[in-house]
Amino acid sequence: MSRKNLIHLVLGIVLLLILAGLVIGYLATRQDSGDPDAPQGGVSQGLPSTTELPTGLAKADPITTLPSQAAEPSSTAPFQAKTGYCSGSGVRVRKAGSTSAAILGTLSRGQSFTVTGSEQSGWYPVQLSDGTKGFVSAQYVSFTKPSDQESTETSWIDPVTVTIDEDKWYLTLVSIKYRLPENYKPELSYPVKGIDRPLDARVTPHYVAMYNAAKEDGCTLTPYSGWRSISRQKANYENKVAVYQRQGNSRTKAEQLAAQWILPPGASEHNMGLAMDIVNTKESFENTKEFAWLQEHAADYGFILRYPKDKVSITKVAYEPWHWRYVGVEDAKKIKASGQCLEEYLGLYND
Ligand SMILES: [Zn+2]
């Protein structure tokens, strides 16, 4: 082979290699992009992904992301005001940077404020949320990471223990804010023979009536999750909290994160025995004939869709088409007609 032919051969091979590389690269990008527009699972119907259950529904009663996370601080330029957090409890806010200066207020652990200037002689100038300006000892000021801000600055709800009206027990609101007393336990009975899913015994006959009526229309409202003990709720919740704590979160932060998946003990309607999760197929319950039947008839038996799609910001619970709550026939019909959720109907909100 001549030298010239050899050069041609080498050039030819190089060209072929480049061409092959281009083809492989092109195929690879096509594979990466996948089918971005393809529906996933085929059931979400445009729901934001946060309102969808990941897996294992009935256990969780997961709630969507808690209200607005704190915005990231814009930068750490030298004198830019930033959010600080009180790292002690009962920490004084003083009129000047001295322990002998007048006391303007007291901060609790985790309370946030604005640090308006740099540290001077062990004191930070601060402004509280009510506008009070003063100084806090630098040893009690911490600047947490942006990802931790929401835990202390916004949105953690102070729970209130509900008192149950003896006459209107069926209208009791339990939620992330309104919690049952820890020892609450209703008298139970089982609506469907052979299925270990009890309800408050006062609700059971209404579920049975609804179940039988649906059955006549060819729909099976199989109980999937009814009453659940507060202690079991607590165990589930604490397990989740522990997971988040092991990831390095504070207790408060871990509780908040856990509450997005499992309602805290006493916060679930299942603890009260007034709600049933109804699931009978593996497809999205929203698309079943049972769901359509419930939408039309459940109120006639005193049940409402407790966590509607368009009320997530009020209920603080993800859309749950399977979760039906007893409120009595009269109120169920009124609630359905009004288009309100239970919080709106009762004028009780979760913040
Ligand atoms: Zn439920």
150 CA distance to ligand 1 middle (Å): 27
Residue 294 contacts residue 221 (beta carbons within 8 Å): yes
pLDDT band at 207 (very low <50, low <70, confident <90, very high): very high
Could you give the CA distance from residue 84 to residue 72 in angstroms, rounded to a whole number?
13
Q: For residue 206, what is the enclosing H or E element? A: helix 204-216
Q: What is the 3-state secondary structure (H, E, C) of 144-163?
A: CCHHHHHHHHCCCCCCEECC
Catalytically annotated residue among 255, 320, 330, 344: 320
Q: How far is the CA of 63 from the centre of ligand 1 (A)?
A: 11
> Is the model's pLDDT at 260 over the cut of 60?
yes
* pLDDT at 102 > cutoff 90: no
Asked whether residue 154 carries a pLDDT value surpassing 90, the answer given is no
With pLDDT > 70 as the criterion, what percentage of the chain qualifies? 72
Q: What is the mean pLDDT of residues 162-179?
A: 96
- Outline which parts of the chain fall under CATH 3.30.1380.10: 157-228+268-346
pLDDT band at 140 (very low <50, low <70, confident <90, very high): confident
Position 78 scores a pLDDT of 58
CA distance 273 to 188: 8
Give the model's confidence band at 284: pLDDT under 50 very low, under 70 low, under 90 confident, else very high.
confident
Give the mean pLDDT of 305-328: 94
CA of 324 to the centre of ligand 1 (A): 7
Our answer to whether residue 72 is catalytic in this structure is no
Whole-number Å distance, alpha carbon 270 to ligand 1 midpoint, is 6
What confidence score (pLDDT) does residue 38 get? 26
132 backbone φψ class: left, alpha, beta (φ>0; ψ -120 to 50): beta
Q: Which residues pair with 326 in a beta bridge?
A: 303
**Rounded-to-integer distance, Cα 187 and Cα 200, Å:** 6
Predicted confidence at residue 209, as pLDDT, reads 98
Record the pTM: 0.58
Parallel, antiparallel or unpaired: strands 223-225 and 275-278 = antiparallel
Q: What is the pLDDT of residue 39?
A: 26
Looking at domain 157-228+268-346, which CATH architecture does it have? 2-Layer Sandwich (3.30)
- CA 2 – CA 182 distance, rounded (Å): 94
Q: What is the pLDDT of residues 109-120, one digit of tens each?
A: 677 888 888 888
The per-residue pLDDT of the chain, averaged, comes to: 78
Report the pLDDT value the prediction gives residue 326, as an integer from 0 to 100: 98
CA of 143 to the centre of ligand 1 (A): 39
Residue 297 buriedness (CB in 10 A; 0-12 / 13-18 / 19+): middle
Expressed in angstroms and rounded, the spacing between residue 69 Cα and the centre of ligand 1 is 26
| Distance in Å, CA 57 to ligand 1 centroid | 8
pLDDT > 60? residue 124: yes
The whole-number average pLDDT for the span 140-147 is 63
List of E strands, 220-349? 223-225, 275-278, 303-305, 323-326
Identify the pLDDT of residue 331: 98
Identify which has the larger pLDDT, 217 or 98: 217
**Segments of the chain assigned to CATH 2.30.30.40:** 82-152
CATH class of 82-152: mainly beta
**CA 209 to ligand 1 center in whole angstroms:** 20
Q: What is the CA radius of gyration of the chain?
A: 29
Cα(189) to centroid(ligand 1), Å: 18
In this predicted model, which residue has the larger pLDDT, 323 or 64?
323
| Lowest-confidence segment of 56-65, 154-163, 292-301 by average pLDDT | 56-65
Whether residue 175 has pLDDT greater than 90:
yes
